[in-house]
Structure formats: C-alpha cells, structure tokens
C-alpha cells in the first residue's frame, strides 16, 4: 500500500510551563519529537509531513537532519485544522495517511505496523487506535453502540457525565484513506467548548456517511500516553526506559537495578555485560561483550570494546575504549580520547584528545591532553601534559616503553623517545632521546637546626 505520515507538533504545551516547545522536551536526553520521527521512518512512508506552530523555527532546526516536509499551522485552530494545513502537500498522493502526535513518544513501529496492516486488510476508509485505561480523565472517549460498533469520539471537555464513565479512550492515532480524509475535513465543525476543529470529528462523518470504520484496540496503553505536563514527561521517560532496559536484558545483558539505569534507545550493549546501579548510557554508545560498567558511571557517544571494566564514578564522552581495558574509579575521558587494548586508566585521571597505547598505564592523578602515548608506557602519578600556552594547544608524544616518573611536567610540544625515562619531579621542556634519562631538579639543600630556631619542636610538644 502507499503510505504517508502526518505528525502533529504545533502546540506550545501550556501545562509544561516552559519556553521550550513541548515536543522538544527531552526523554533520555533526546527530544520526544525525534522518537516519533524515527518510528515514522521505520514505516517506510513515501513522505512525512510535520505540522509546526509554536516556535516553529526552533523545532524545524532541531529536526533538520530528517527527510521531512514542514507546514505551519497559523492560527492554531485544533487538530483537524492542523491536518487540513497539509492538504497542498498531498495533491499528488493517493493512498493511506497515518496521523501521529509529536507528544506521544512511546508508540512502537511494531504496533503501528499491526495497525496499518489491519486497516488495509479490512478495507477501512478510516481506522482509529483506541485503548482501555483505568483513569480516562482528560482523554477523548470512544463511544460504541450495543453491537460494539464505534459511533463517535467525544472530547473530555465536551463529554456528558455518563460518557465520562467510559474507559476506552481515543489514542490519537489514525490511518485514513487520503481521498476520504480531505473530503471529511471540510465537514468539521468548531461548535464545541474550545471553538476548534477536532480531528476526531471525522469519525462522526465516517459513521454518518456509512464509510468503512475500524477501531483498533491497543493492548498496552502506555504506548500511547501523551505528554502534556512535566509529570507525564517523567512517566513517559519511565515507560520508555523500562522498555529499553527490558530489551537489553532479553538480549543477554545483566542490569542489576533497572530502576536506576538509564540507557538511550540508540545505545547497543553486548552479551554478558553487567550494568551496575546508577549508570547512564546515552547517545550513540556501543558496548561490547563481557564488560562491567559501574556503578555510577556516565557514558555518552562512546565506543567500548569487549571485556572492559569501568569502575565507580567514571565519566566518558565521545571516546573509544578498546578490549580488556580497566578504568577508574573517578576517571574522566573527554572527546577524542582513545584507549587501546589492555591499557589501564586509574583513579582521578583525565584524558582528552589523546591516544593511550596497548598495555600502557596511567594509574592515578594525571592529566593527559593532546598526546600520543605509545605501547607499554607507564605514566607516574601526578604527571601533567602542559599542552596550552595561552593561545594554542600543542601535542606531546611519548614513544613505546617510556617511563614517566611521578610528578613530571611535560611541556608541549615535546617528544619522549622509546625506552626513555623522566625522573620524578622533573619539568621536561626539551625532547628526550630514546633510552635516555631526563632529570630536571633544583639541588637539594638541608638547613640544620631549623626546628629549634623556628620553635617548631616547642609548638609540637
């Protein structure tokens, strides 16, 4: 079948009490509208049209990397009017149009596929998705006759007391034959409490014109929970987080405490990896097999190999960690850090825009920035690559098997040759030859009788 998608994303979201458009509020660090767009793309439609309104330029900028067409709804006169604004975009389209809401981020492509397949199989002119909820307040009700046929959808604000007792709600997802859609939108009325053109009004028209109507009941109401408040935003994030964590556990990942583990939908984690409590894995992060992550670790947009251990309170962004690496606790890997096989990054170590070679060790209390560290290198405690002269950054190169003594200052640009050693406490400002020892210290001087002359012994007694 020919399928196109309309996504309604024009509202401000007054109950969010925010300057940010509602559909741009993040869930697991990603704007909720992006979830809907990505789900729509999985349906492989001929086109996606996005209806914008409040702060449209900001929303348009956020989704500029998606192949979508945008239309502006101005003024905003309801959901029916929003869809009508798209008519010119479908002049040459003949098929079915799937209508989604940009503030319903948890809907799955699996459920949408079942929905559209049912629409086609039953030859429906209009299909609407419904679901049963325990607390239907705020939602439009689906009203049926004694035979179970859908009669109409009534908005919560326009429902009578008896109608409000119904717990089958309109999920706000529709699949409509394009010719019937444009024909019926012209018949909508704004005679309601809001003075708006409600999209569910096409259900009444479908019934009155004796067109084929299908109501598809979704088993899990959480999939179609809309976000209209901060509380609902939190509930939506919890729903999506639980689904993501469940998927990883089904695929062989141990998550010790799912309630405190946050994983983005775009992250991948290998089998037999353990994710400890209070861990955050965001963005395009990939983690290999047999790793142990956490507790209290933050990883974003990073690649982690197999059999890696990342210990307590480590923070990684935009970096690459190869196989068998041990890291932490309390280490910080910044963008463009690359840690090669079998290396060790210890506690209170920060690495930025640097490569740490195979089997090399930076065990503790060091800063390595803009550096290329070879294989089998040992970086002693307190080592700092002094990479910034106040204007420009400069690189440090430490070749294979070099030994950098504790509290060494490497003033870049500088190169330490293979098998070279720097003595503890040295400030190295010149290149060090392979196999050489570089030492830079002031001579040690001892003043006898110091404690007695200064009264130190008396104060300490």
Give the Cα separation of 211 and 223 in Å (integer). 28
- 442, exposed or middle or buried, with CB in 10 Å at 0-12, 13-18, 19+? exposed
* Token couple for 429: 């400002």
Q: Residue 285 in contact with residue 303, Cβ under 8 Å?
A: yes
Q: Are 338 and 319 in contact (CB under 8 A)?
A: yes
Rounded Cα gap, residues 109 and 98, in angstroms: 12
Residue numbers annotated as active site: 364
291, 307 contact by CB (below 8 A): yes
Q: Which residues pair with 416 in a beta bridge?
A: 398, 432
Structure tokens at 415: 């190169």
Rounded Cα gap, residues 197 and 430, in angstroms: 76
Q: Along the 461 residues of the chain, how does pLDDT read in single tens digits? A: 699 999 999 998 999 999 999 999 999 999 999 999 999 999 999 999 999 999 999 999 999 999 999 999 999 999 999 999 999 999 999 999 999 999 999 999 999 999 999 999 999 999 999 999 988 888 889 999 888 888 888 888 889 998 898 999 999 999 999 999 999 998 898 888 788 898 989 998 999 899 999 999 999 999 999 999 999 999 999 999 999 999 999 999 999 999 999 999 999 999 999 999 999 999 999 999 999 999 999 999 999 999 999 999 999 999 999 999 999 999 999 999 999 999 999 999 999 999 999 999 999 999 999 999 999 999 999 999 999 999 999 999 999 999 999 999 999 999 999 999 999 999 999 999 999 999 998 888 898 988 888 776 666 56
CA-based nearest residue to 171, from 142, 129, 115, 116: 129
Decide: residue 169, CB within 10 A, 0-12 exposed, 13-18 middle, 19+ buried: buried
- C-alpha dihedral, 413 to 416 to 418 to 419, nearest 10°: -170
Instruction: Specify the domain boundaries for CATH 3.90.550.10 within the chain.
Output: 3-224
In DSSP terms, 292 is beta-bridged to 274, 309
Cα 264 to the chain's mean position, in Å?
Answer: 5
Every domain of the chain with CATH number 2.160.10.10 lies at 230-438
Asked: is 3-224 a CATH 2.60.40.10 domain? The reply is no
Q: Domain 230-438: what homologous superfamily? A: Hexapeptide repeat proteins (2.160.10.10)
């Amino acid at each position: 079948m020919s399928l196109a998608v309309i996504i309604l994303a024009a509202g401000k979201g007054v109950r969010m009490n925010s300057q940010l458009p509602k559909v741009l509020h993040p869930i697991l660090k990603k704007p909720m509208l992006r979830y809907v767009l990505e789900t729509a793309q999985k349906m492989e439609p001929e086109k996606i049209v996005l209806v914008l309104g409040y702060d449209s330029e900001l929303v348009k900028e956020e989704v500029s990397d998606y192949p979508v067409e945008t239309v502006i709804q101005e003024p905003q006169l309801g959901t029916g009017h929003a869809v009508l604004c798209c008519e010119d975009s479908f002049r040459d389209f003949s098929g079915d149009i799937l209508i989604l809401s940009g503030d319903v981020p948890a809907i799955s492509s699996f459920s949408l596929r079942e929905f559209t397949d049912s629409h086609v199989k039953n030859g429906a002119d209009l299909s609407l998705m419904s679901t049963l909820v325990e607390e239907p307040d705020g939602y439009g009700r689906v009203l049926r006759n004694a035979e179970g046929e859908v009669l109409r959808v009534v908005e919560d604000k326009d429902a009578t007391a008896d109608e409000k007792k119904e717990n089958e709600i309109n999920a706000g997802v529709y699949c409509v034959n394009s010719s019937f859609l444009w024909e019926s939108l012209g018949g909508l009325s704004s005679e309601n409490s809001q003075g708006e053109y409600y999209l569910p009004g096409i259900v009444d028209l479908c019934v009155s014109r004796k067109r084929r109507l299908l109501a598809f009941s979704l088993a899990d109401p959480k999939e179609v929970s809309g976000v209209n408040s901060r509380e609902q935003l939190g509930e939506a994030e919890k729903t999506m987080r639980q689904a993501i964590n469940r998927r990883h556990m089904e695929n062989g990942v141990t998550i010790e405490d799912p309630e405190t583990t946050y994983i983005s939908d775009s992250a991948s984690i290998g089998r037999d990896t353990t994710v400890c409590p209070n861990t955050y894995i965001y963005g395009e992060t990939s983690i290999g097999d047999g790793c142990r992550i956490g507790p209290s670790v933050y990883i974003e947009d990073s690649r982690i190999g197999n059999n890696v251990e990342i210990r307590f309170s480590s923070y990684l962004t935009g970096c690459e960690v190869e196989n068998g690496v041990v890291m932490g606790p309390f280490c910080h890997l910044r963008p463009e850090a690359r840690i090669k096989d079998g290396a060790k990054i210890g506690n209170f170590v920060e690495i930025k825009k640097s490569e740490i070679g195979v089997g090399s060790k930076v065990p503790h209390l060091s800063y390595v920035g803009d550096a290329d560290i070879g294989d089998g290198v040992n970086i002693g405690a307190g080592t700092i690559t002094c990479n910034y002269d106040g204007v420009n950054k400069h690189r440090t190169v430490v070749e294979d098997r070099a030994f950098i003594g504790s509290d060494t200052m490497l003033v870049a640009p500088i190169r330490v040759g293979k098998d070279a050693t720097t003595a503890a406490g040295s400030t190295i400002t010149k290149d060090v030859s392979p196999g050489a020892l570089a030492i830079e210290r002031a001579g040690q001087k001892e003043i006898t009788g110091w404690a007695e002359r200064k009264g130190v012994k008396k104060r300490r007694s």
